[in-house]
Structure 1
Amino acid sequence: MSIISGMRCRGDRAMTTFRSFPVRLPSDFRYWTVLDPAYRVVVEADDFLLHHRMGRDGAESTSQSYAASLALFFDWAASIRKPWRESAPYLGRFVYWLQHYRPDQVAARRTAVVRGPRRVNAIMAAVRSFFRHAASVGQLDPEVLGVVYDSFDTNRVNEAARGARYHRASARHRLSEPDSPIVNAAGEDVAELIRAARNARDRFIVIAMWRMGLRRGELAGLRRSDVHFVPDASQLGCGFRGTHLHVVRRTNPNGAWAKSRRQRVVPADWLTVQAYDQYIVERDRVDPRGRSDFLLVNLFADPVGTPMRPGGINEVLVRLSSRAGLVRPVHPHMLRHSFATNVAEHGGTADVLKELLGHAWISSSDVYLHPSPERLRAVVERVPGPRTTGDGQ
């Protein structure tokens, strides 16, 4: 399929564009694909996006982001009138195009930066992943990958298709990203969110993410059967002692997705259990039939009783942040960062964080180990000074 079919241009401005599009299969499985300007599926992109969605880390949100990135890539390739398979030598121009292209501006006026380094790098990561997959299934000459990576062995195409760390580290066309501080949700801000919540469900969402470090996709994907908030879970067939819940990766109709393939257990403290109990009482009152096994359901908007989508958690936090008058809105990952920081500051080591947060590699937890200036000073001041000898020297 030609990627420039159906593209009409006025100068260098595309009248129609490639676009990302959601697909729902009869099984309720959702993923995103790419349509060309004539509303036809771009077959190679569709093959890659479905393969990625069904793979190890195939969250629907990632599928959506990748589809949007590939739509931009195909738009650019059409603008330079190159089939995508022949575009690799020009990817440096694509990076510049991403930084400055905006559909409502003519080329002569494209001076402002439209996309920053972080967004450009994310788009390029999607394009590289697409190239790797295409090479692995015979849709692209593996030699082309030598243009995409600084070091590439054509005998390792299958490893490249799996996203081997070696190839991620040697990728070309990567912009330098400015260091940005990790932003936690301060304890005072979390308290304001809890006070701003007008129902038990929203309070439980804030407390569960803050006290358990759950990702939004993990929280939205929980089933009631995953929650073991009882002193002795042996009656539930579980050998883990104390109140806890199980994070399980499933394909969920609400698009929720647990990033880690490995099931993990997260302990729950009394504050989380109390918030949960209050939420269940509220849920049983508003939705007495309770037909959904999903833990989080819509209670205050139609259709009542249906599972909340992960994006609904963001909407809850935005609404609470506004109601609380916070200068910076709190988003889900800020609560996860706060949980990890609190665990680290109270003696939690990297291996503990790895298990609690569901990371595959212990090094992935390093980003959460960012001690405060006060903690750094306290550690330095605890180091003893030189001891004097018996003769006073």
Structure 2
Amino acid sequence: MRSFPVRLPSGTRYWTVLDEDLAVVAEADAFLRHVRFGRDQAELTTRTYAGHIALFLRWCARTGRDWRTAAEELGLFVVWLRYGTKEATGADRPSTEAGLVLAGPGAEAVRKPARIENVLTGVRQFLLHGITEKAVPSQVLALLYEVADDRDLPPEARGEGMSYRMKARHRVQVPRAPRDRATDAEIVALFLACRCARDRFIVLLLARGGLRRGAAAGLRRQDVHFMPDSTALGCHVAGSHLHVVRRENPNGAWAKRQPPGSGQPVPVDVLVVRAYDQYVLERMERPHARDSDFVLVNPQELTDLHLRFEERGGSSTPLGRPTAS
């Protein structure tokens, strides 16, 4: 069992699961297509889920279990994940001895609790979809979840009075470490280490704008409204800002959840605006940079494209659109 990328004729990609004979696992493929197109989630989300499902189906195949009813023994699956080496749990077909998981006293875990908990989450979603599609017996639902009250939830998540919810039966305790945000000194040091205006703009965009890397890499020039008043552009958001829009990008960038409409407006300060101005001046010096609608482009790649085109005796018309970084 292994995960595998699929590219449709439209160019859209998602990930599926192949069995030992490199045939598509129909039930897994149906779930992953639902995640990609039914839920409109990112390609990387299907990649993550495909890896989780492949591990689960691999465990079932190598231990002689039917994946449709193996939910009652997910505790053993957790042990397999925690102590199984790459030779025992990897996609390559192991020998009889290599497929065994033997963990003696003091054995160190191979996978961290957070990783195991993520795998369990993907497996539960896969089995729930199978129950909905009548591919998995309905009684498996009781093996996945139990009825629990809300006393273990934080106060802001509780309802009025006593309420009940579905709680996963199999869980792994994940240590909650505090988030380690980069200090101002670290951000400044990274800013000073940048060798071009584009990289300095990226540092400030992530540090002061709070954008994820996928959102930053997917920005188009039409999303940038760095003016006090953008009414002339049809935008009524006041002040300098940019719009994070979820769209299909050829570079694979994908924005997280956002409200419907023209995207999520993100305010920016004067430092980000000035960094962008310097980057625009740098970008204008690169041949054919205007042909890319992406905000972030690779300046060196654009220069190499121009030089290769001139060596072939071409005119000012570019051979192709520059690639966004």
TM over 0.5: yes
Q: Which residue does the alignment assign to 2:222?
A: 225
Do 2:191 and 2:203's aligned partners in 1 also have CA atoms closer than 8 Å?
yes
TM norm structure 1: 0.67
Distance verdict in 2 for CA 1:42–1:254, change over 3 Å: same
Residues 288-320 of structure 1 deviation map (CA, whole Å, 9 limit, x = unaligned): 343221212233348862122xxxxxxxxxxxx
Residue type of the alignment partner of 2:237: F
Do 2:243 and 2:264's aligned partners in 1 also have CA atoms closer than 8 Å?
yes
Do 2:80 and 2:101's aligned partners in 1 also have CA atoms closer than 8 Å?
no
The structure whose RCO (Cα within 8 Å, separation 6+) is larger is 1
Q: Is the partner of 2:72 in helix, strand or coil?
A: helix
Residues 21-73 of structure 1 deviation map (CA, whole Å, 9 limit, x = unaligned): 11121222111111111111111111111211224461222211111111111
Cα distance in 2 for partners of 1:143, 1:81 equals: 21
1:58 to 2:41 alignment: yes
Q: Which residue does the alignment assign to 1:96?
A: 79
Deviation at 1:230, TM superposition (A): 1.6
Distance verdict in 2 for CA 1:289–1:184, change over 3 Å: closer
Of 14, 32, 39, which aligns to 2:15?
Answer: 32
Residue type of the alignment partner of 1:260: R
Residues 225-245 of structure 1 deviation map (CA, whole Å, 9 limit, x = unaligned): 010112221111111121111
Residue type of the alignment partner of 2:111: R
Distance verdict in 2 for CA 1:55–1:270, change over 3 Å: farther
Distance verdict in 2 for CA 1:292–1:142, change over 3 Å: farther
Do 1:29 and 1:253's aligned partners in 2 also have CA atoms closer than 8 Å?
no
Cα distance in 2 for partners of 1:192, 1:118 equals: 31
| Structure 2: gaps of 5 or more residues | 89-97, 149-163, 306-321
Distance verdict in 2 for CA 1:28–1:215, change over 3 Å: same
Cα distance in 2 for partners of 1:299, 1:131 equals: 47
Cα distance in 2 for partners of 1:93, 1:69 equals: 16
Q: Which residue does the alignment assign to 2:66?
A: 83
Do 1:201 and 1:279's aligned partners in 2 also have CA atoms closer than 8 Å?
yes
1:146 to 2:142 alignment: yes
Residue type of the alignment partner of 1:269: D
1:128 to 2:111 alignment: no
1:291 to 2:287 alignment: no
Deviation at 1:179, TM superposition (A): 2.3
| Structure 1: gaps of 5 or more residues | 1-17, 153-165, 309-393
Deviation at 1:142, TM superposition (A): 2.1
Residues 300-343 of structure 1 deviation map (CA, whole Å, 9 limit, x = unaligned): 348862122xxxxxxxxxxxxxxxxxxxxxxxxxxxxxxxxxxx
Of 306, 324, 327, which aligns to 2:323?
Answer: 306
Deviation at 1:265, TM superposition (A): 0.8
User: Which stretch shows the higher mean deviation, 104-113 or 71-80?
Assistant: 104-113
Do 1:34 and 1:70's aligned partners in 2 also have CA atoms closer than 8 Å?
yes
Cα distance in 2 for partners of 1:103, 1:267 equals: 45
Residue type of the alignment partner of 1:173: H
Cα distance in 1 for partners of 2:267, 2:235 equals: 13
Of 203, 206, 218, which aligns to 1:206?
Answer: 203
Aligned length: 277
User: Which stretch shows the higher mean deviation, 102-111 or 73-82?
Assistant: 102-111
Q: Is the partner of 1:253 in helix, strand or coil?
A: coil
Cα distance in 1 for partners of 2:250, 2:288 equals: 22
1:115 to 2:98 alignment: no
Cα distance in 2 for partners of 1:30, 1:140 equals: 27
Residue type of the alignment partner of 1:63: T
Deviation at 1:109, TM superposition (A): 4.7
Equivalence map 1:208-287=2 (5 Å)? 208-262=205-259, 263-287=263-287
Cα distance in 2 for partners of 1:231, 1:29 equals: 37
Q: Is the partner of 1:32 in helix, strand or coil?
A: strand
Distance verdict in 2 for CA 1:289–1:254, change over 3 Å: closer
